[in-house]
Amino acid sequence: MTIEFETPKPIANMRYMLQTVAENMMRPISREMDENEHEIPYGYIEFMHTAMKSTGAGSLAPQEKKEKKEENPGKPKHPPIAYQSLASMLEMLAWGDVGMYLITPGGGLGAAAVQAAGSPEQKAKFLERFDGEKPTFAAMCMTEPQAGSDTSAIRATAVLDKETNEWILNGEKIFVTAGHKSFVPDEQFGAGFLVVWATIDPTAGRGGMRAFVVETGTAGVAVTKLEHKLGIRVSDTAAIVLQDARVPFDALLGSPTVEKTTTGFKGAMATFDATRPLVAATGVGVARAALEEVKKMLSEQGVTIRYGLPRQKLTAIERDVIDMEIMLKSAWLMVLKAVWMADNQKPNALESSMSKVRSGDIVAKVTQKAVEIMGPLGYSREFLLEKWFRDAKITDIYEGTGQINRLVVARQILGYSGAELR
Amino acid sequence: MYSFEPNEEQQMLIDAVRRYAKGDLRPAGHEAEESKSLPKKLVNKGWELGVLQASIPEAYGGFGERSAVTGALAAEEMAWGDLAGSLAVITPGLFAMPILLAGSEEQKQEWIPTVIEADWPKYTAALIEPFFDFDPNDLKTTATVEGDDFALNGVKMMVPFAAEAEAMIIYASLNGLTKGFIVPKSSAGLSVSEPEKFMSLNALPLYRVTLENVKVPQSHILDGDFAPILASMRVANAALAIGVANGALEYARDYAKERQAFGVKIAQKQAIAFMLAEMATEIEAIRLLNWEAAWMLDAGKEEAVIQAYLAATGAADMVMMVTDRAVQILGGYGYIRDYPVEMWMRNGRGFASFTGLAIV
């Protein structure tokens, strides 16, 4: 091991390609999609699906297949970079438009849950579809109206019908990102799925929590609402009601027996360790977009940032921009470290949550400052700065709020359990 | 590749420095600050760890190669123990490292082995000037050509060990560019003040140095680029700030796990726990930024200059935030000099002005 920061060639190449996509497919319709909430950019989705298939860039979930290829004997073994690639990819897509990134076809958080908690057979069965002809989506259904950060308080239930060997799901799920595209049949999309978290034993608390794969169009499941939001408006945020919805026995990810342990819950939490730095990466992408735009607009108005001067000699704007740069660069490095650990199978709960805390903080600060620095132009819908400010805020909320992640970080550094630090 | 783990050699050095920081520096630091002096033995022992020697090639008497990353890792560990002690231990580097980076072959041969092979050699450097807008790239100290010599004029401050130094590097502006000049002690026109007094670093002797038409031969100019020297100073500064901050975080964390209030340990209160989480996050952020700057220096990348500037700037804010909170977490005890955190807070505020006190 060593300390090194050279971007691996495959990642550099991929980012170069994705920047073209961001500039040509995302930015030109960013504003229009923001103003017309819930409109679906089929062109972008189709393009991304085709592009990812043909380039082998893969879906937006780390690809196990690729890792298998690398295990071929005879070939020199490269260090694994699947999560590092993914984070770099998401950062660039979010730089283009974070709302549109959220509706990039592929497995998303749904597939990530299958990856984290599914058996090899389940992974094969549920994940294969993302390489199909049509763009396909999957979504994660965790949050309920009364249970957000406190995921152990979910009330959705799964009861086994022993006669048919099916699970019967009941409950209400909200804030399901890409929930509509993953569940409601659409001619232009392949059949996707939802991963629904429910309890198989309401008396068992976290120990009873399990994830179930619910296929597109399953009877008894309905999308009841699409939320109207502050930002990321192109991304569909769905409310989903499950009423006596039946899924086959092997739709359950993991073990069907309730033990005293909290394996099911830990499955969900392990998913978070993997996905939090990825969400953090998207925050960094938005922050970078805003900072680059501010620097560009400032330079058009005759201001260049004089790096290297003592602080006492800098203008207030230069100080702000330099601080934004420090925030941005350091947040990105924290993401990289967290995903590098994931790639190398090092436990990364601490680094993962740290990167999320940092990203949620800095993307808010950077985009706020960006709007402030550009004055009326920052506030104007003629430019994207105000949109990025609105888009930014969600980074500190979804996939664990900044506060939940602070709890995780604090427990880690204090060596405290959840009971010791509530 | 991206990679975030020190290599084996670096880890060995880290471990050795950590033992010294924990076993020697930390226990001595408080007393040294109060009594305003550092035990010689303590400094010698730190020097014998070979942090500087390990970054000098064999050709010049060392036993390694220069690595800003390795230097930064060592500085982080050492400053965890005590800042003033760390600065004393690495002061000779202020003289040797710029010669290695920007000196001629003859200068390297002439000076570096002398420094490296001695017991904690008395060599130093003078960069900082007594002005609010002191700018390493726009010095008020000047060098002008006078016949075969350079004539140096100006005032420097915060020069460590200036009174006892055999020779020092004095930075001056030559036609608008910052250059280092090797100035032996007892050069005519060079005068050293009584020790200066600061908010912190009482144990480290720092002096004001006045230059009145000090003549140095033309062969004494370090003609290489100043930018990598400055970047290496900034990386060192950031690394030391990270060390101080880590010390403060750990101390506050351990205190919070002991201190009882309202029936629980105060660390069990989110108000305290979140402060600690944010301190840890901030330290890690700047640490990685600084590692990248150091790596860029080692890889010879031009961006290193800006990156090191960002790291040092971020580090100055970070260490202030962390040490301030450490004092806050200890409450009234934090304000009492029997506890070390108030000293770390005084150390912390200094980092905005410390560029020039250390180099890796």
CATH architecture of B227-353: Up-down Bundle (1.20)
Query: Which segment, A203-207, B61-65, B297-301, is predicted with the most confidence on average?
Result: B297-301
Among all residues of chain A, which has the CA nearest to that of B68? Answer: A3
Q: Do A311 and B280 touch (CB under 8 A)?
A: no
Query: A113-117, A388-392, B41-45, B245-249: which has the minimum mean pLDDT?
Result: A113-117
pLDDT at A393 over 90: yes
Specify whether the CB–CB gap between B326 and B345 falls below 8 A.
yes
Contacts of B263 (CB under 8 A, 6+ apart): none
Joined together, the tokens standing for residue B161 give 């060990």
pLDDT of residue A69: 46
Residues of B in contact with A340 (CB under 8 A): 2-4
Residue A302 class from Cβ within 10 Å (0-12 exposed, 13-18 middle, 19+ buried)? exposed
pLDDT at A261 over 70: no
Of A309, A323, A354, the CB nearest to B284: A354
pLDDT of residue A412: 97
Map residue B181 onto helix, strand or coil: strand
pLDDT per residue as tens digits for the range A148-184: 888 888 999 999 999 999 999 999 999 999 999 999 9
| Cα–Cα nearest to B290, from B348, B233, B224 | B233
| Cα–Cα nearest to A97, from A29, A16, A17, A14 | A29
Specify whether the CB–CB gap between A353 and A190 falls below 8 A.
no
Confirm whether A325 is a catalytic residue. no
Backbone angles phi, psi at A61, to 5 degrees: -140, 145
Cα separation of A337 and A284, whole Å? 14
Among all residues of chain A, which has the CA nearest to that of B277? Answer: A410
Residues of A in contact with B313 (CB under 8 A): 311, 322-323, 326
**Mean predicted confidence (pLDDT) in B197-220:** 97
Map residue B109 onto helix, strand or coil: helix
Specify whether the CB–CB gap between A117 and A270 falls below 8 A.
yes
Average pLDDT over chain B reads 97
Cα separation of B52 and B93, whole Å? 6
Q: Do A340 and B7 touch (CB under 8 A)?
A: no
Residues of A in contact with B291 (CB under 8 A): 3, 5, 333
Of B253, B286, B289, the CB nearest to A414: B253
pLDDT per residue as tens digits for the range B344-355: 999 999 999 999
Q: Do B4 and A409 touch (CB under 8 A)?
A: no
Q: Which fold has domain B8-121?
A: Butyryl-Coa Dehydrogenase, subunit A; domain 1 (1.10.540)
In chain B, ranges of CATH 1.10.540.10 domains: 8-121
pLDDT of residue A264: 58
Joined together, the tokens standing for residue B19 give 């033992």
Radius of gyration of chain B (CA): 20
pLDDT at B74 over 60: yes
Q: Do B253 and A413 touch (CB under 8 A)?
A: yes
Joined together, the tokens standing for residue A273 give 């360790």
HSE toward the beta carbon, residue A42, CA cutoff 13 A: 5
Among all residues of chain A, which has the CA nearest to that of B276? Answer: A410
Q: Mind telling me how many Å the CA of A68 is from chain B's nearest CA?
A: 20
pLDDT at A57 over 60: no
Q: Helical H runs in B21-171? A: 26-35, 40-47, 68-81, 83-102, 105-117
**Mean predicted confidence (pLDDT) in B142-155:** 97
- Which is it for the CA torsion B14, B20, B23, B24, positive or negative? negative
Query: A67-71, A366-370, B17-21: which has the minimum mean pLDDT?
Result: A67-71
Backbone angles phi, psi at A415, to 5 degrees: 70, 35
In chain B, ranges of CATH 1.20.140.10 domains: 227-353
pLDDT of residue A62: 55
**Mean predicted confidence (pLDDT) in A235-239:** 96
Instruction: Please provide the DSSP assignment of A47-85 as one string.
Output: HHHHHHHHHT---SS--HHHHHHHT-TTSPPPPP-HHHH
pLDDT of residue A149: 85
Helix pair B270-298, B304-330: axis angle to 10 deg: 160
Instruction: Please provide the DSSP assignment of B186-219 as one string.
Output: T-TTEEEEEEP--SS-TTS-EEEEEEEEEEEEGG
Residue A159 class from Cβ within 10 Å (0-12 exposed, 13-18 middle, 19+ buried)? middle
Residues of A in contact with B136 (CB under 8 A): 310
CA distances from A309 to A305, A319, B174 (A): 10, 10, 19
pLDDT of residue A67: 44
Provide the residue type at B82 as one letter.
D
Q: Do A322 and B310 touch (CB under 8 A)?
A: yes
pLDDT of residue B304: 98
Q: Do A340 and B69 touch (CB under 8 A)?
A: no
Of A307, A311, A340, the CB nearest to B4: A340
Specify whether the CB–CB gap between A296 and A415 falls below 8 A.
no
Q: Do A329 and B289 touch (CB under 8 A)?
A: yes
What residue has token string 């207030």? A316
pLDDT at A70 over 50: no
Helix pair B83-102, B40-47: axis angle to 10 deg: 40
Task: Report how far apart the first and last C-alpha atoms of chain B are (Å, whole number).
Answer: 24
Cα separation of B50 and B232, whole Å? 18
Q: Can you say how many angstroms the Cα of residue A280 is from the centroid of all Cα atoms in its chain? A: 8
Identify the structural domains of chain A with CATH numbers, from first to last: 9-108 (1.10.540.10), 124-262 (2.40.110.10), 265-414 (1.20.140.10)
**C-alpha torsion B260→B264→B267→B271, nearest 10:** -110
DSSP E strand stretches across A144-236: 157-161, 166-177, 193-199, 209-215, 221-226
pLDDT of residue A55: 61
pLDDT of residue A73: 54
Contacts of B287 (CB under 8 A, 6+ apart): B76, B242
Q: Do A330 and B267 touch (CB under 8 A)?
A: no
CA angle A140, A146, A150 (to 5 degrees): 65
Provide the residue type at A413 as one letter.
I
Provide the residue type at A347 as one letter.
P
Joined together, the tokens standing for residue A272 give 């978070």
Helix pair A402-414, B270-298: axis angle to 10 deg: 80
pLDDT of residue A61: 53
Q: Do B281 and A331 touch (CB under 8 A)?
A: no
Cα separation of A365 and A379, whole Å? 15
| Cα–Cα nearest to B309, from A205, A151, A321 | A321
Residues of A in contact with B239 (CB under 8 A): none
Assign B119 a pLDDT band (cuts: 50, 70, 90). confident
Joined together, the tokens standing for residue B50 give 């070979």
Among all residues of chain B, which has the CA nearest to that of A354? Answer: B281
Assign B162 a pLDDT band (cuts: 50, 70, 90). very high
Among all residues of chain B, which has the CA nearest to that of A333? Answer: B288
Of B280, B288, B295, the CB nearest to A409: B280
Assign A262 a pLDDT band (cuts: 50, 70, 90). low
Q: Do B278 and A357 touch (CB under 8 A)?
A: yes
Residues of B in contact with A411 (CB under 8 A): 273
* Max intra-chain CA distance, chain A: 78
Among all residues of chain B, which has the CA nearest to that of A8? Answer: B1
Q: Mind telling me how many Å the CA of A3 is from chain B's nearest CA?
A: 5
User: A144, A351, A386, A399: which one is catalytic?
Assistant: A399
| Cα–Cα nearest to B309, from A361, A294, A256, A314 | A314
Of A313, A322, A330, the CB nearest to B285: A330
Task: Report how far apart the first and last C-alpha atoms of chain A are (Å, whole number).
Answer: 37
Q: Do A407 and B277 touch (CB under 8 A)?
A: yes
pLDDT of residue A66: 44
Interface A-B, measured as beta-carbon pairs within 8 A, has a size of 144
- According to DSSP, the residues that pair with B159 across neighbouring strands are B207
Q: Mind telling me how many Å the CA of A341 is from chain B's nearest CA?
A: 9
Most B CBs within 10 Å, among A1, A4, A6, A149, to test the B interface = A4
Joined together, the tokens standing for residue A204 give 């068992």
What residue has token string 């202030």? B320
Top-level class of domain B124-222: mainly beta
**Mean predicted confidence (pLDDT) in A326-351:** 96
| Cα–Cα nearest to B348, from B201, B156, B148 | B201
Q: How many contiguous H segments (helices) and E segments (strands) does chain A have?
A: 14, 9
The complex scores an ipTM of 0.95
Pairing of strands A166-177, B149-160: unpaired
In chain B, ranges of CATH 2.40.110.10 domains: 124-222
**Mean predicted confidence (pLDDT) in B7-11:** 96
Backbone angles phi, psi at B264, to 5 degrees: -135, 170
DSSP H or E run through B180: strand B177-184
**Mean predicted confidence (pLDDT) in A82-101:** 95
Specify whether the CB–CB gap between A57 and A249 falls below 8 A.
no
Residues of B in contact with A341 (CB under 8 A): 4
| Cα–Cα nearest to A107, from A61, A49, A66 | A61
Specify whether the CB–CB gap between A362 and A331 falls below 8 A.
yes
Q: Do A308 and B137 touch (CB under 8 A)?
A: yes
pLDDT at B120 over 90: no
Cα separation of B19 and A366, whole Å? 40
**Mean predicted confidence (pLDDT) in B338-342:** 96
Pairing of strands B260-261, B264-265: antiparallel
